[in-house]
Chain A
């Protein structure tokens, strides 16, 4: 029972982290219609910048400055890269962001090398916040939850309650109308792209010390972010939140408990074949839930695409 509570907290941390990445990606997609393959790379840049800043100025300055730098970089990429490619259509845009992802990974390896960086949890947060039945919850995890939730609330507030948010929302659906009303739509695009990448940067800053700061970090997280926004519904902030939490909890619980496939199959009334070594479904029978935990989100995505193609909270029907 205690373990369930612990897993809920762990899953929440994973989910919220995923949310910070997918929130930016889903906003950028709904606005520009382009899937930013380099999104996870900005997450990686966030971690590396924060590490470099933390060496000189400490963790907190890293948390403050690194996302800003990443955001400015992101805005620059939109202004001088994507906007030029935009006129040639979506495929060149996709290829552009894909190339950018490879470029950033090589650049990071060139500047920092291939080793893991000793980017650590700050001293002030390096203690056990509380323990549930011997399972300690590090204070840093609580801090991660706190940061992500405040970002979500802030984002929701800006998007729904402020004038800027309203213009953004209008620009999402009717860019031409908004433009003819005298708003600078390209500037809004650039701003949203910058904020989206900055969010990925924040995720990198706070995830770097826990998940490791190494050149493969973007690759490990890259595909799951796309799965998240497809499940949540492209362009929906709430969808991104729900899908992220769902994925966080599903994978955490699947890994924490050794649920055997043979038990499930027995449970639904299929008896274990006697001669296992000659059975063609031998591998299926021996599967355990931790082994397939990481592909569960992909299975969920396929199911969502079949039964609800727009995603959980998606509005687009096209």
Chain B
């Protein structure tokens, strides 16, 4: 009997060791973004897209380095920089070497600083920070570091492309700028003012204000101000619940001009805007999906819809993150030495399935890519958002936007 117990215990132990060894083989990617609170839907949809991209683009195609799988581990940071740093530490303690985050540049600023410090102090467990959506220009300028890579265009690049389109509208005379009160909102506002005054000196900026992020219950008073100012167009960098609240409210309260945005699609927003915002809401983004660029992208989108019938690929750059990381790890021949992987990412040229070339600019780790301005509509939409029949149709494209834009980044390499 005693023998049996011993045998049982030993086999159980070996099973556990075997299981954990199998887990250890996976290349883990920590996803640190809000999974609860007002921005939960944005974060959760991002996490689904990462999980799907890792599975579909890597694991189902034989993995990397001869069969190693990607595994996305999600951490809820409740949109707080403080909580993010705790979750980052938890991720690092679990042996995770790749961190992805995107929602809120405030959080990204905290993570990039913490990652830099950590990597300096712990050369044995260095991590890479792959930023897929936080677009505060400072992250690739004054605050840049070797461990941070940005896969979305920064707020300046986006505003440059967006104002190019806006400037063609001769009837636009007054513009209202409104955004969330934190680093990103301020960056958008500053960039909008700068670009507009350079491209259309005749346009008057009739309002430029910030509102608390994620705390506004009712945007009516803001809408009143916008309508009263006589604005012909609105520029906003709002996202998540703040974008939806603002958009619905200005339309309801009598604003009838175009609304130029960064993030007004998906996560329930497109469905909620519906008919009321048709042809009115425009957004700047990379990788448009209507019309879709390649057959590969079409197949990917369909596979995604099969797995998440209620989901959207509203951040197609997530697929670029996974694709480029895979390529870099393959080229470096290791996933453990993040310096080697980072060196591969630096200067990488990559063909995105969503169309266009991608170039990871070595001097500041800003990805240079095509920028699209799309419009919210239900015409010529192959892939709608939120199963609403409405989607975003690409109207114009700026190729390799801001390829030669200046940067103040002084990259220190290890």
Contact = CB atoms under 8 A, between A and B. Distances in A.
Contacts, number: 110
Contacts of B212: 291, 294
Contact of B209 (A14, A219, A290): A290
B268 A214 contact: yes
Interface string B194-229: 000000000000000111100111101110110110
B225 A216 contact: no
Nearest to B220: A10
Contacts of A221: 217
Interface string A86-124: 000000000000000000000001000111111010000
B41 A255 contact: no
Interface in B54-79: none
Interface stretch (A62-70, A128-136, A274-282, A300-308): A128-136
A134 B269 CA distance: 26
Contact of A212 (B39, B220, B245, B310): B245
Given A115-B310, A291-B212, A294-B216, A252 B221 contact: yes
Contacts of B388: 118
A136 B214 CA distance: 26
Contacts of A135: 224, 227-228, 253-254
A212 B211 contact: no
B386 to A, nearest CB: 7
Interface residues of A, number: 42
Given A118-B272, A134-B228, A291-B212, A219 B37 contact: yes
Contact of A252 (B181, B220, B268): B220
A224 B215 CA distance: 11
Contacts of A120: 272, 274
Contacts of B225: 255-256, 258
Contact of A220 (B217, B221, B228, B248): B217
Contacts of B274: 118, 120
A7 interface: yes
Contact of B252 (A138, A251, A293): A138
Nearest to B253: A136
Contacts of A128: 254
Contacts of B252: 136, 138, 210
A221 to B, nearest CB: 6
A204 interface: no
Contacts of A136: 252-254
B224 A7 contact: yes
Interface in A207-258: 210-212, 214-216, 219-221, 224, 251-253, 255-256, 258
Contacts of A115: 41, 45, 267-268, 310, 386
Contacts of B272: 116, 118, 120, 212
Contacts of A73: none
B44 interface: yes
Interface string B244-263: 11001000111000000000
Nearest to B37: A216
A253 B225 CA distance: 11
B217 to A, nearest CB: 5
A138 B248 CA distance: 12
Interface residues of B, number: 39
B228 A3 contact: yes
A120 B222 CA distance: 21
B38 interface: yes
Interface in B233-248: 241, 244-245, 248
A6 interface: yes
A214 B222 CA distance: 21
B40 interface: yes
Interface string B266-282: 01110110100000000
Interface in A176-220: 210-212, 214-216, 219-220
A216 B79 CA distance: 13
Contact of A134 (B40, B210, B211, B254): B254
B269 A294 contact: no
A114 B221 contact: no
Contacts of B386: 115, 118
B268 A7 contact: no
Contact of A116 (B181, B209, B210, B267): B267
B241 A114 contact: no
Given A216-B37, A219-B37, A116 B244 contact: yes
A288 interface: yes
B39 to A, nearest CB: 8
Interface string B34-49: 0001111100110000
A211 B209 contact: no
A29 B310 CA distance: 41
A291 to B, nearest CB: 7
A118 B39 CA distance: 17
B271 A118 contact: yes
B221 A215 contact: no
A211 B217 contact: yes
A116 B386 CA distance: 10
A288 B209 contact: yes
B224 A291 contact: no
A288 B99 CA distance: 37
Contact of B224 (A10, A13, A114): A10
Interface of B: 37-41, 44-45, 181, 209-212, 215-218, 220-222, 224-225, 227-228, 241, 244-245, 248, 252-254, 267-269, 271-272, 274, 310, 386, 388
Those 7 A-B pairs whose CB atoms lie nearest each other, nearest first: A116-B268, A136-B254, A115-B268, A255-B221, A216-B38, A114-B41, A118-B271
19 contacts: A3-B228, A7-B224, A10-B221, A14-B220, A118-B271, A118-B274, A128-B254, A135-B228, A212-B244, A212-B245, A215-B40, A216-B37, A216-B40, A252-B220, A253-B221, A256-B221, A256-B224, A256-B225, A290-B209
Given A138-B253, A252-B221, 17 more contacts: A7-B221, A10-B220, A115-B310, A116-B41, A118-B272, A136-B252, A138-B252, A212-B244, A215-B40, A216-B38, A220-B215, A251-B221, A253-B221, A255-B211, A258-B209, A290-B221, A294-B215
